[in-house]
Chains A and B, each alone.
Chain A
Amino acid sequence: MLSNLTTRFVGRLRAQDPEAWFELWDTFGPVLRAQIGRWGYGWVGPETVQDLSQETLAALSNSIHRHDPAKGARFSTWVLAIAKHVLGDELDRRMAKKRGSGRRPASLDESWSGQSSVPAPDSDFEAAMFRAKVESAVRKVERATDFLDFSVFRMRVLDGRSGKEVAEAIGMSEPTVSRRLKKVRDALRVQVQEVLATFSFTDEEVAEARRNGLELNPNKADDSRFDDALAEILLHQEQFRRQTLSESSRKEPR
């Protein structure tokens, strides 16, 4: 069963809301680019990878309402299947163009919802999808909160500075730093929950937060674990983005 948030988001996509499309692109574009780039290594260049990842998300937007929850496919599996289909189509098209004997382009059908012919996403892809969701939540919180509040969060959590150091640097008291940090942390918990609910088809996907150390309904003792987990996720996400970029700049189509 799709959550209300997913249904609402799907509704926005169906209504061709450009902002919903951009959110999809902004959140999952880098992951898709990396995956398609890896699959198409030596065959497609960075520009084509960019195009194909856009095509994937466009296909996702157009077909997401046809998703059948009964088949139990995860959101990540769904995205991966579409990406594979889009890339396969592109390669078929190229072969057909080149040799005149390629297969016809595959049709966009409901097979995306099934699991039989679709490869299971590997752990790297799953992790990248999860990190993308968390990053999206962080960016949303950044947009919604005061610059100083978010700066306190960045310095304390992402830079690993102590409350005292942050207070001295910005010129405020330690309790104020703690209060501002709590405000952002609480907002993040809500937002992470919301983003996960929007881009998840199964309960297992929603539970990924806890598995990765992001306790969304915590007691006070969980705060530091939440902060550490979040810092690690964002650090990995930045490394992932850099790595993807350097790989894409190296790859040239054959």
Chain B
Amino acid sequence: MSVTGFGIPIFTFLAVLGAAILVVLIGVKVLKLIFWLLGRILRFLGDEVRDVVRFAGHMISSLVLIPLVLLNLLSGNFSRVHHYRRAVFQELKDASACLYRIYLRNPLALLGLLDLVCSVEKRVPEIVRQAPGSDLRRGERGVFEGYRVIGSLPGGGSGAKLYIAEPGLEKTHTLAAQGYPAVGRVVIKSFSMHNGPSLPQIVRESRALESAKRLGLVLEHGLGEHYFYYVMPYVPGDNLSVVVERMHTAAGGEGLPTPQLRRGVALVSDLLLTLERYHQGGLWHKDVKPDNLVVCGDRAYLVDLGLVTPLASAMTLTTHGTEYFRDPELVRMAMKGAKVNEVDGVRFDIYGSGAVLFSVIEGSFPAHGGLSRITKRCPEALHWIVRRSMAELNGRYSSAREMLLDVHTVLAADDPFTLKPADLPSLGGPLPQHLPQEPPPLQEFKPARPSAAATYGHRPSPPPPVEVAEHAPAPAASPGRRGTGRQVVRLFVGSFAVLILMGAFFAFISERRQSSRSATFQHKVDAMQQEYFGGRLRSAEVMISGLPEGRPMPDDFGSVVTRVLQESGPREARAEAPRILFLDDFTSAARPESMAWGDGLLAELAAAGFDTISDRVGDEDSEELDLLAGARKAMGMQVRGQAFESLASFLRMSGRLDGAVWIHKGKADLVDCSIVVLGEDGLVSRLNGALGTQVRIGTLRTAISSGSSPGPSRDHLD
């Protein structure tokens, strides 16, 4: 049979046709491959030529700049030397990057092995970024009074340094007297006074410290000559991002197996318990994200107080936070100029919690906000919880407890995959039988052993204090080495006895010293009371930070101040309320009672018609932050020395302030209130005196009203 007139059999024709098609197909593939290879080679050549030219350009620039460095060095113009030197380094850095691409990156790209260096390029900078900050130098080790720095942690984005430290014996006693028993290791977050840009950050962070102290999140804070710092309990462990990444890497691409998922959800449950405490304490964390959760054994601890804000703050909302874990609605409201107390900060923290839960399930962050889809293995009810917590503001959970109940229902279910959203308490389902417990304070924990068998509803009970673990005796020796074991026991008992004796001795010395200080202090207070008030105050005992026997501030200071202010009469001469900077370096470092006294004073200043700017409230107004930071910088954060003059000079230069009230520790541990007033003639009046606050505020008001300099000063500063 033939298909053509040439008598070619049909099979031969088909075979030829098939072969031709095959040849064409293979030819096309080969051509594609050739063009692809040519493309790669051309791209490689192009990249190489471009990098060689760039390298030459950088080297030429360096050669031009180096003589400028030398020239300016010879003429002693060191500012320019510094500038040109940096430019040379930048050029050399760029040149070396070109060399790296010429010899390594581009050839690897040609061979299709770019992933080899991509990993190095991506991972190495990340690892370097996460490296702990530099340790304190030998001479700096005593800068945090009462603590011994033993290591450092990676710093945050605020420019602060984080140190791991151990409190000394005296500090341990002091903390115990303040209600923090058995404190082991601590983290000290420290801001350098010499770093200008960190000053607004210091002011921001210091605002919520008192509330954080009341919640046991911060043990104490202090202001030294070179550092502002606060001390927090130390929680050893990795952050949740690292833990989740590890879990997902082990699980593969399908999502977490049920036990790991349970563990992850239980960590989110810890987060919600902590947030509930924050919110009940009137605080908004504002930066809830996996990086800020430290996983210690089976528990998660919320850290980083950098953005913590009082929920009731009347200050302007800012957009601080971390993208993808911060509700975009917060940005919208901030741009509208809303105040903090006009928004529901609780719901913004809940959005962050939902985003954290999403990241636990998915192993990545919600790139599409509330519309992000969950693609990994996940119970439907849990899916619902994520949606509800990241929903539009009004549809979201109204409290951490409401979300917690839903999460706990999932945790308590035998098989969470059979649970439906309708079974959750927020949709009318039954409440879980065992309600979650309040999380115990951080310092009462020790790191628990990681438990692979953590199950829903059967979470391990809170572990005993860290200190027990850290000072625990060495493990018992094996039975085969009984003799050595006895020696170890004897050694241990002997050391223990010596330690007890030493502890008793130091405690005795410490008690003697404190009693002596208290007596001297009380004597001075009595003298001041007589001098300034003729014995009118019924109590003039002032609490000094660090003295366990401290007593509260006199409670009738406020009434005296109010009376004096009222007597001075309303201000009529000025159209605007006088602007006063209120700097409190004493009561904010003392106990809550003293803080309350400072708050009262601040309120009285405001009630008397002064426009006060203070770092005591959750203030985030940028202009006020600038003023506060500027004043701190001008004073060099010092209590003594030239601080008074520096502050006065700052007031003169600011042009936006009428005066400043500065509460600080004066000579002999007495609280001083210094007042600086700018007169109309530009002269500065300075008044200050220990416990003389009320009289001076009255004088201040009169001075501003009349525009003249107030009376004589009593300077205790220098």
| Residues of A that sit less than 8 Å from B by CB | 18-19, 21-22, 26, 98-99, 135, 138-139, 142-143, 146-147, 150-151, 154, 158-159, 168-171, 234-235, 237-238, 241-242, 245, 249-250, 252, 254
A238 to B387, CA, bound (A): 16
Q: Are A19 and B332 in contact (CB under 8 A)?
A: yes
Closest to A245 in B: B367
Q: Is B428 an interface residue (CB 8 A)?
A: yes
List, in ascending order, chain A residues with CB within 8 A of B369's CB: 139
Chain-A contact segment, one of B279-287, B370-378, B508-516, B700-708: B370-378
Q: What sequence of 0s and 1s flags, for each residue 360-404 of chain B, a beta carbon within 8 Å of any chain A beta carbon?
A: 000000011111110000001000100110011111100000000
List, in ascending order, chain B residues with CB within 8 A of A150's CB: 391-392, 395
Closest to B388 in A: A147
CB distance from B341 to the nearest CB of A (A): 20
List, in ascending order, chain B residues with CB within 8 A of A235's CB: 373
A147 to B395, CA, bound (A): 5
Q: Is B416 an interface residue (CB 8 A)?
A: no
A142 to B427, CA, bound (A): 19
Q: Which of A138, A147, A234 contacts B391 (CB 8 A)?
A: A147
Q: Which of A19, A26, A147, A241 contacts B336 (CB 8 A)?
A: A19
A-B contact pairs, 11 of them (CB 8 A): A19-B332, A21-B335, A22-B331, A22-B332, A138-B371, A150-B392, A151-B387, A154-B387, A158-B371, A169-B380, A170-B421
Q: Which of A98, A237, A250 contacts B368 (CB 8 A)?
A: A237
A18 to B387, CA, bound (A): 28
Q: Are A22 and B335 in contact (CB under 8 A)?
A: yes
List, in ascending order, chain A residues with CB within 8 A of B331's CB: 22
A26 to B371, CA, bound (A): 14
List, in ascending order, chain A residues with CB within 8 A of B420's CB: 168-171
Complex A-B, nearest 4 residue pairs according to Cβ-Cβ distance, in ascending order: A147-B395, A171-B422, A18-B335, A238-B368
List, in ascending order, chain B residues with CB within 8 A of A242's CB: 367-368
Q: What sequence of 0s and 1s flags, for each residue 415-435 of chain B, a beta carbon within 8 Å of any chain A beta carbon?
A: 000001110000110000000
List B585-615 residues whose CB lies under 8 Å from chain A: none
Q: Is B226 an interface residue (CB 8 A)?
A: no
Q: Which of B337, B367, B396 contacts A238 (CB 8 A)?
A: B367
Q: Give the size category of B's interface with A.
A: 35 or more
Closest to A146 in B: B395
Tally A-B pairs: CB < 8 A: 78
Q: Is B97 an interface residue (CB 8 A)?
A: yes
Q: Which of B336, B391, B427 contacts A170 (CB 8 A)?
A: B427
Q: Are A147 and B367 in contact (CB under 8 A)?
A: no
Q: Which of A18, A159, A250 contacts B118 (CB 8 A)?
A: A250
| A contacts with B: majority SS | helix
A142 to B54, CA, bound (A): 51
Q: Is B121 an interface residue (CB 8 A)?
A: yes
A54 to B20, CA, bound (A): 57
A98 to B91, CA, bound (A): 9
CB distance from A168 to the nearest CB of B (A): 7
CB distance from B644 to the nearest CB of A (A): 42
Closest to A166 in B: B421
Q: Are B421 and A169 in contact (CB under 8 A)?
A: yes
List, in ascending order, chain A residues with CB within 8 A of B122's CB: 249-250
A72 to B670, CA, bound (A): 77
Known: A22-B331, A147-B395, A158-B373. A169 touches B422 (CB 8 A): yes
List, in ascending order, chain B residues with CB within 8 A of A158's CB: 371, 373
